[in-house]
Amino acid sequence: MNSKVNNEMANNLNNNQVKKSTTMNANENTSKPEAALSFECRQLSKSYQQGPITTPVLSNLDLAVKAGELVAIVGSSGCGKSTFLHLAGALDTPSAGEVFINGVNIHQLSEKQRAKFRNQHIGFIYQFHHLMMEFSAQENVAMPLLIRGDSPKDALAQAQVMLEQVGLSHRSHHRPSELSGGERQRVAIARALVTKPSLILADEPTGNLDFDTAKQIYQLLQTLNRTVNTSFVIVTHDLTLAAKMDRQLRLEHGHLKPLADTSPSNLEQVQNEQRQAEES
C-alpha cells in the first residue's frame, strides 16, 4: 500500500476518534463490565462425517469471553480454527455442545431467528472474504445494514464512512474482481464492523495485508473495542496481532489451551512450529 493511502487511513482513524463523540455516543462505554460474558462455548465438539470416514476436529472445547475482551487463537493449519469460528458464529452446527452469545443459546434458535441474531450481534470476518462479486465494495459493506432494515441512503452513507476507515474510500465503486486481495480483505473487515456488533469473529483478518496496513487494521479494531466494548475472537497466524490481544490461546488436539508465554522469543518458536507443521 502506498504512503498516500497509508496517510489517508491514518487520518481517517484519527477522524474516527473525533467523530466517535457524535456517532457512537449512544453505545459508548469506556469501562469494561466486570463479569458479563459476551461469548461462551460449553463442551463443544465437531466431527465431519464423509460416508464411513469420521474426522474428529474439536473435542469438548470450553471458552468464556467477557464483554470487551480481545482473544487471539493460534494453531497449525488444519487444527480446526475455522471450524471453531463457524460453530461460534452459527454458520455450522456442532456435533455436541453449546454456544451462548450475550446469554442466548444460538444453536437452539430457528434458522430465521439465527440469521437475525447474527445480523444484530455478530460480525464475521471470513478467511476467504466471501464478498458478493456482483456488488460494489460500498454495496457489500452496506449489505448487513440493508438486511437489518436501514434505508439504502443511510446504509450506503455508513458503508462509505467505514470504507474510509479502512483506507478504501477511493475504491468504493469497484467490484471485488477489481480489487487486490488485501483490498478485498479490508472490504470484508468493513462489512463485519459496519453494524458495530457486540462480538467480532475474525478468521485471519490480516492474512493478506502488508505490515503497515495490518497495523492500521489493529488500530481500527482497538478503536471499536474501546468505543463500543466489542469483544473479539481472532484466529491468526500473525503473532504480532496475537500479542496485542488480552489473551492468547492455542488450539491443539481439539482443545484450547492458554498460550502462557507471549514473549517475542516464545511467539517466534510457536510460529516456527506452525510453519514446520504446515510444511510436513
Under the rule (CB under 5 A), what is the footprint of Mg ion?
82, 127
Strand order in the sheet with 247-252: 122-125, 199-203, 231-235, 70-74, 247-252, 255-258
- The least distance separating Mg ion from the CB of residue 201, rounded to whole angstroms, comes to 12
Place of cell 452513507: 157
Set of cell numbers at residue 180: 487486490
269 binds ligand ATP (CB under 6 A): no
* Residue window 108-137: x/- pattern of binding to ligand ATP, with contact defined by CB under 6 A: -------------------x----------
Could you say whether residue 57 binds ligand ATP (CB under 6 A)?
A: yes
Cα of first residue to Cα of last residue in the chain, in angstroms, is: 33
**Contact flag: residue 83 with ligand ATP (CB under 6 A):** yes
- Say how far apart CA 70 and CA 67 lie, in whole Å: 9
Which CB, 99 or 162, lies closer to ligand ATP? 99
Residue 43 lies near ligand ATP (rule: CB under 6 A) = no
Q: Judged by CB under 6 A, does residue 93 bind ligand ATP?
A: no
Quote the CA–CA distance of 238 and 114 in Å, as a whole number: 31
- Residue whose CB is less far from ligand ATP, 57 or 249: 57
Residue number, 27 or 77, with CB nearest to Mg ion: 77
Q: Cβ closer to Mg ion: 236 or 248?
A: 236
Residue 240 phi/psi, 5° resolution?
-65, -40
In the list ligand ATP, Mg ion, none, the entry touching 48 (Cβ below 5 to 8 angstroms by class) is ligand ATP
Nearer to ligand ATP (CB atom), residue 141 or residue 200: 200
Single out the residue of 39, 61, 65, 80 in contact with ligand ATP (rule: CB under 6 A): 80
Name every residue whose Cβ is closer than 8 Å to that of residue 41 and which is 6 or more positions away in sequence.
Answer: 61, 62, 63, 64, 87, 88, 97, 98, 99, 100
DSSP element (H, E) containing 82: helix 81-88
Q: Which does 56 bind (CB under 5 to 8 A by kind): Mg ion, ligand ATP, none?
A: none
* For ligand ATP, the closer CB: 33 or 181: 181
Among Mg ion, ligand ATP, none, what does residue 54 contact (CB within 5–8 Å per kind)? none
Distance CA 68, CA 71 (A): 10
List 48, 113, 115, 132, residue binding ligand ATP (CB under 6 A): 48
Comparison of 38 and 76: residue with beta carbon closer to Mg ion: 76
Segment interacting with ligand ATP, rule: CB under 6 A, options 60-68, 79-87, 165-173, 219-227: 79-87
CB under 8 Å to 209, separation ≥6 — which residues? 182, 185, 186, 217
Q: Does 79 bind ligand ATP (CB under 6 A)?
A: yes
177 contributes a contact to ligand ATP by CB under 6 A? no
Residue 271 contacts by C-beta under 8 Å, 6 or more apart in sequence?
Answer: 237, 239
Residue 133: which residues within 8 A CB-CB, separation 6 or more? 175, 176, 177
Cell of 73: 487463537
Q: Considering the rule CB under 6 A, would residue 78 count as an interface residue with ligand ATP?
A: yes
**Are 127 and 204 within 8 A, CB to CB?**
yes
Residues making contact with ligand ATP (CB under 6 A): 48, 50, 55, 57, 75, 77-83, 127
